[in-house]
Amino acid sequence: MKKTSVLVSVLLIITLLLSSCGSTATAERSETGESSGSSGLRESMEDVRESIDEAQSTFDQAFSEVTNTYEDVKSDFLDVFGDMLPSGGGDSGTSESTAPDDTPAVNAPAKETAQQESVESSYQPTMGEKNALSSANSYLAFMAFSHDGLIEQLEYEGYSAEESAYAADNCGADWQEQALRSAKSYLDLSAFSYSGLIHQLEYEKYSTEEATYAADNCGADWYKQAAKCAKEYLDYSAFSRSGLIDQLKYEGFTEDQAKYGVEQNGY
Residue 267 pLDDT exceeds 80: yes
pLDDT in tens, 115-153: 666 556 688 999 999 999 999 999 999 999 999 999 999
**DSSP code at position 187:** H
pLDDT tens track for 170-182: 999 999 999 999 9
- Sign of the CA dihedral running 36, 41, 44, 45: negative
Average pLDDT over residues 211-230: 98
Instruction: Note the pTM of the prediction, 2 decimals.
Output: 0.56
Note the pLDDT tens digit of each residue in 59-108: 566 656 655 666 666 666 666 666 665 554 444 444 444 445 554 554 55
pLDDT for residue 82: 62
CA dist., res. 234 & res. 76, Å (int): 107
Amino acid at 4: T
- Residue 122 confidence (pLDDT): 85
Among 92-101, 141-150, 207-216, 222-231, the minimum mean pLDDT is found in 92-101
Q: What is the mean pLDDT of residues 248-264?
A: 97
Residues with Cβ within 8 Å of 185's Cβ and at least 6 positions away in sequence, in order, are 144
| Cα separation, 214 vs 205, whole angstroms | 13
| DSSP sequence for 45-102 | HHHHHHHHHHHHHHHHHHHHHHHHHHHHHHHHHHHHHGGGSPTT-S-TTT--------
Rounded-to-integer distance, Cα 136 and Cα 116, Å:
25
Residue 23 near residue 31, CB atoms below 8 Å: no
pLDDT given at position 29? 47
CA dihedral of 217, 218, 219, 223, whole degrees rounded to 10 = -110
For 86, residues 6+ apart whose C-beta sits below 8 A from its C-beta are 95, 97
* DSSP category for residue 143: S
9 φ, ψ (degrees, to nearest 5): -65, -40
